[in-house]
Amino acid sequence: MDQNELKKAVGIKSVDFIKPQMTVGLGTGSTVYYMVEELGRRVQAGLKIQCVTTSTRTWDQAEKLGIPLKKLNDVDHIDLTIDGADEIDKNFQGIKGGGGAHTYEKTVALNSQRNLWIVDQSKMVTTLGQFPLPLEVNPFGCQQLFQRLEKEGLKPAFRIDKQGNNLLTDMKNYIIDLHLGQIKHPHLLADWLDHQTGIIEHGLFLDLVNTVVVGCDDGPKIIENIR
Ligand SMILES: O=C[C@H](O)[C@H](O)[C@H](O)COP(=O)(O)O
């Protein structure tokens, strides 16, 4: 199976975790796309749920499919959030934000009773960091922040769109990607990044995921993170 077929298989499989009357967080990305398409089919077939989204992309897709949507501020809990990931290590720590949506994604994830990630097998790694670590940053003072990151040896690069401009997030911020190669101590790095003024949110998602559905050639595999 190619990567897209694996993404589609896990996207469809993950919808089995959604039960009637749940409030569900919908992530962002090309794997989540398939999950939302399948959820739309089930809602049209009569499944009663409500959802919050983590990006305008997902909101627009879900709205077109007739999935009932709420703003995050208007729900009192989220039963389950289903999202993609860019890397997951052997300790179930993850990198997200390849699509620049990680700030809203982390906000929704932190407010969810359960988090389920859907990935193809290429995302399962021994050590995080091969995938560049995304930072959402405030445009105000971003050059000074960039220099600070360079000085720390974190190999930053602004993410640029097709027109050659700084890519803008849903919140109209910029993205800086850190090309680290490997992240030996994710918690220490997360702690340092959490304390840098100008960084709105980083893409390290630590101690957050409960279940991972991995797309493998012989079918989706469900892995529980027993913590
Ligand atoms: O900002 C984007 C998200 O964190 C995505 O969930 C992540 O990048 C995985 O995306 P994809 O399923 O397209 O590989």
Per the annotation, does 123 bind a ligand?
yes
pLDDT tens-digit profile of 143-198?
999 999 999 999 999 999 999 999 999 999 999 999 999 999 999 999 999 999 99
pLDDT, tens digit (0-9, with 9 covering 90-100), for 55-102 = 999 999 999 999 999 999 999 999 999 999 999 999 999 999 999 999
Query: 29 C-alpha to center of ligand 1: Å?
Result: 4
Contact 144, 196 (CB under 8 A): no
pTM, rounded to two decimals: 0.97
- Computed on alpha carbons and rounded to an integer, the radius of gyration of the chain in Å comes to 17
Ligand 1 centre to CA of 192 (Å) is 24
Atom 6 of ligand 1, nearest CA residue: 84
pLDDT band at 1 (very low <50, low <70, confident <90, very high): confident
Distance from Cα 43 to the centre of ligand 1, integer Å: 24
What number is the average pLDDT over the span 128-153? 98
pLDDT, mean over the chain: 97
pLDDT at 145: 98
The answer, yes or no, to whether any atom of ligand 1 lies below 6 A from the CB of 83, is yes
What is the share, in percent, of the chain residues with pLDDT greater than 70?
100
Question: Which residue out of 5, 37, 38, 105 is catalytically annotated?
Answer: 105
Q: Which domains does the chain have, with CATH numbers?
A: 3-124+206-216 (3.40.50.1360), 133-202 (3.30.70.260)
> Is-contact 36 58, C-beta < 8 A?
yes
105 is an active site residue: yes
DSSP string of 28-82, one letter each residue: -SHHHHHHHHHHHHHHHTT---EEEESSHHHHHHHHHTT--B--GGG-S-EEEEE
